[in-house]
Amino acid sequence: MLNLLWLLLGGYVAGILLPLCLQGRPESQRLTSSVAAIVATSAGVALGLFGLTSLEPVTGSLASTIPQLTLAIRLDSLAAFFVFTISLVGLAASIYAIGYLRHFEGQTSITALGSLFNAYLLCMTFVVLANNGFFFLLAWELMSLLSYFLVVTQHQKAEVRYAGLFYVIMTHIGTAFIVVAFLVFFQSAGSFSFEAFRHPGHPLSEGMRTLVFLMTLIGFGTKAGIVPLHVWLPYAHPVAPSHVSAVMSGVMIKTAIYGLIRVYFDFFGGQFPWWWGFTVLFLGATSALLGVMYALMEHDLKRLLAFHSVENIGIILLGIGAGMIFQSYGLKELAALGLLAGLYHTINHALFKALLFLGAGSLLYATQTRNMEEYGGLLRRMPWTGFFFLIGAVSIAALPPTNGFVSEWLVFQTLFLSFQIPTVFLKLMLPIAAAILALTGVLALACFAKAFGIAFLAQPRSTHARHAEEVPVPMRMGMGILATLCVALGIAPMVVPLLDRVIASLAGISIASKVLAIDGWALAPVNVEFSSLSTPVLALLLVVSAILGWGLAVALGGRLTTRRSKSWGCGITLTPRMEYTATGFVQPIKRVFSTIYQPTVKLETEFLAESRYFAKRRHFEFHIEPIFEKYLYDPLVAFFGTMADRLKVIQGGNLHLYLTYIFVTLIALLLLAV
């Protein structure tokens, strides 16, 4: 374990420092930073597997001269699972970066991109390994700052600077709430050690426990992007380099899921009232539904994917929230099942969302635009990218035989088992959450039918699309690794026994033998009599059905021949202007949910001078009302702006006055301390 940790640390440090030593040689900088990250993430994957298979947690510490700060790490099963997930996505993104960073040569510093990316992955790894609250907050803050600098890579653009500012403000607001929660733990435990948090000298009162629950839910929820704290995602993810977006959406927001599970199931020992779980469940259902609804209206491919991160965080929280509810009623097997579903979807979302962001980056690399309306016909020009993107789209839409289907099926089964809860209210609420999840799945399918169809099918809609070429081999390799894993975890859920090790340490019970039924050939939600699913058999049936369909077509139609002819267009030549647009595709859905969207539609028509009955030009604008920004964040910003204007009177520009302020503050603090 120690050798793997040193290899991980050495790889990341090399990736940080070596590009700085190769100034003026962007090709060498690009290769060294990426290769170093590949070495480090490979060690991280091995380290995660070691931790998941180890019988006991592995700990280590290094004292520091800063009071209360101990550089302590703990590789238990929960930390190992997240180290494995972070490193796996980081590995694919690092391979992808070998080719993708050419996109930035001559535009920005390859040195900064390579060094910051390695430092970012290192800090993210230490976030989940930290065994000291002070060390955790230090790694968390560094992770946030480094991700900010990566987001503003192209800081010459005003939209990038605004997105970076929005992100850094939101992430620091979240950090402030986490700090409050950790200070409450510190007051109770007398130390920042996580071991002291688990076994405090003075247990927290119910009021303090509730305060910690709310503080961590807001603090970690801001990073995760739960509604209504999600507003930074559609700004930050689109403007960041695509391999960074893949890591941010794939695993960085999952560190918040790690934090929530660590606090609720580890520090609190799984002891909490039912309404905590219901709150998490409610926020998960709301985030899932609103996330996919807003994604449907997007034409910027990366903004669309950012909103889908909100959706999938919601799905993860549905599983965890249901598990918390079951845990509060002593239904340990069902609590473990909820955690299993949530963690399974955590790694699945990390894989398919990273794949989709890398696919979006490939389209941006080839066409120089994120606007789907300027794509079209790219499957013929970029077949590998189209194939990998299709696998990611099928996975996120939860269709078999991919991993997204399996984990969402487990979430559904967890919610359907609510009949075992003795409270009528919760017996009703969990099936309602399942219905919301079903609606979310349908809308996600529509969204990615739009995304794939508009981008890859029909005719090219722009010059960029007509001249697009397939991306370099390293970029295809990065996508290929993730696509392969999406299918593998959908057909053979070999991750279940490893996840069971995580869950057993949190819920106090092992359920792998009950979830993996029929010698591992089927999945069952604890009880095979309730329902079961054989993913290998399902995949086999799909393949056999396709072969039978092909055979039937040959048998009835004879020998296959290829004929090429133009599509019939009612006697006129078809042009890209006649194709379905992204706006037109979602028009029916926009009308159904117009109360939520509050759309603004503007149509301007310029008529011919000869007759007002013939249009010369039409200009159409469509805008969705940003409800949360308009009704929540804008009033808050206005309030604090007004308060700041009023407080300007204390800025007298006089040094003696400022010293007086300091003196009065010190006296007040001394009086409070007495």
Over residues 70-112, the pLDDT tens digits come to: 889 999 999 999 999 999 999 999 999 999 988 887 778 788 8
Tell me the mean pLDDT in the region 468-480.
94
Return d(Cα 178, Cα 91) in angstroms, integer: 29
Name the more confident of 70 and 315: 315
More confident residue, 103 or 363: 363
Return mean pLDDT, the chain: 89
User: Would you state the pLDDT for residue 627?
Assistant: 83
What is the DSSP secondary-structure string of 509-568?
---HHHHEETTTTEE-SS-TTT--B-HHHHHHHHHHHHHHHHHHHHHHH-S------PPP
Least confident of 245-249, 253-257, 373-377, 517-521: 517-521
Domain check: are 491 and 603 in the same one?
A: no
Find how far residue 328's CA is from the centre of its chain.
28
The pair phi, psi for residue 122, each rounded to 5°, is: -65, -45
**Do 350 and 428 share a structural domain?**
yes
Which residue shows structure tokens 């600098």? 149
Alpha-carbon dihedral sign for residues 93, 94, 98, 100: positive
Whether 651 and 623 share a structural domain: no
Task: Judge whether residue 257 has pLDDT over 80.
Answer: yes
Distance CA 504, CA 270 (A): 12
* Residues 390-398, mean pLDDT to the nearest whole number: 95
- Domain membership flag for residue 443: yes
Q: Do residues 407 and 482 share a domain?
A: yes
Which band of pLDDT confidence, cut at 50, 70 and 90, is reported for residue 626? confident
Amino acid at 68: Q
| Same domain (yes/no): 607, 661 | no
In a domain? residue 516: yes
pLDDT at residue 528, rounded to an integer? 56
Is residue 347 one of the residues assigned to a domain? yes
**Is residue 655 located within the same domain as residue 609?**
no
- 33 within some domain: no
- At 454, the pLDDT band (50, 70, 90 cuts) reads very high
d(CA 227, CA 252): 17
pLDDT band at 393 (very low <50, low <70, confident <90, very high): very high
Alpha-carbon distance of 78 to 61, in angstroms, equals: 18
Question: Could you tell me if 444 and 292 are in contact, meaning their C-beta atoms sit under 8 angstroms apart?
Answer: yes
Residue 520: the pLDDT is 67
Kindly state whether residues 590 and 615 are assigned to the same domain.
yes
Contact 105, 72 (CB under 8 A): no
Chain centroid, CA 589 distance in Å: 25
In this predicted structure, the answer to whether residue 482 has a pLDDT above a threshold of 90 is yes
Asked if 249 and 309 count as a contact pair (C-beta separation under 8 A), the reply is yes
Query: Residue 527 has what pLDDT?
Result: 67
In terms of domains, do 487 and 635 share one?
Answer: no
| Total structural domains within the chain | 3
Burial class (CB in 10 A: 0-12, 13-18, 19+), 505: middle
Percent of the chain with pLDDT over 70: 98
Which pLDDT belongs to residue 3?
84
What pLDDT sits at residue 355? 97
pLDDT above 90 as % of the chain? 56
CA distance 372 to 581: 9
d(CA 548, CA 178): 57
Q: Which residue has the higher pLDDT, 8 or 608?
A: 8
Q: For residue 467, is pLDDT > 70? A: yes
pLDDT value of residue 97:
94
| DSSP 8-state assignment for residue 263 | I
Residue 164's pLDDT band (cuts 50, 70, 90): very high
- Residue 597 maps to a domain: yes
- Lowest mean pLDDT segment, chosen from 370-379, 508-517, 599-608: 599-608
Instruction: Write down which residue in 527, 544, 568 finishes a domain.
Output: 527
The confidence score (pLDDT) of residue 459 equals 86
The encoded tokens of residue 668 equal 């007040």
Domain's final residue, options 527, 560, 593: 527
Average pLDDT over residues 360-370: 93
Least confident of 29-33, 72-76, 255-259, 576-580: 576-580
Same domain, 515 and 605: no
In degrees, rounded to 5, the angle at the alpha carbon of residue 338 between the alpha carbons of residues 336 and 342 is 115
Task: Please name the residue that has the structure tokens 């604008």.
Answer: 621
Measure the CA–CA gap between 105 and 111, rounded to whole angstroms: 10
Q: Which residues contact 360 (CB under 8 A, 6 or more apart)?
A: 242, 245, 301, 302, 305, 370
pLDDT band at 118 (very low <50, low <70, confident <90, very high): very high
Integer Cα distance of 312 and 634 in angstroms: 26
Say if 470 falls within a structural domain.
yes
Q: Residues 9, 10, 11, CA angle at the centre, nearest 5°?
A: 95
407 touches 498 (CB < 8 A): no
Higher pLDDT, 127 or 594: 127
Residue 351 CA to residue 247 CA, distance in Å, equals 10
Bigger pLDDT: 546 vs 282: 282
Is residue 662 domain-shared with residue 593, that is, in the same domain?
no
Tell me, what's the pLDDT at 674? 63
Centroid of chain to Cα 249: 3
What would the pLDDT profile of 514-531 be if each residue is shown by its tens digit?
Answer: 888 776 677 888 765 677
* 646 lies in some domain: yes
Q: What distances in angstroms separate CA 223 from CA 144, 195, 313, one per listed residue?
A: 9, 25, 11
List pLDDT tens digits, range 168-208: 999 999 999 999 999 999 988 888 999 999 888 778 889 99
Closest by alpha carbon to 101, among 92, 110, 93?
110
Residues forming beta bridges with residue 601, ordered by sequence position: 622
Q: Is residue 484 within 8 Å of residue 352, measured between CB atoms?
A: no
**636 and 613 fall within a common domain:** no
Tell me the average pLDDT across 597-610: 76
* pTM for the structure as a whole: 0.92
Q: How far apart are CA 28 and CA 98, in angstroms?
A: 10
Domain that holds residue 619: 579-627
Q: Is residue 345 part of a domain?
A: yes
Residues 590 and 450 occupy one common structural domain: no
**Own/partner long-range contacts of 167-172 (Cβ < 8 Å, ≥24 apart):** 167/232, 167/235, 167/236, 168/144, 170/222, 170/229, 170/231, 170/232, 171/144, 171/147, 171/222, 171/223, 171/232, 172/144
Which position has the token pair 């048998």? 555
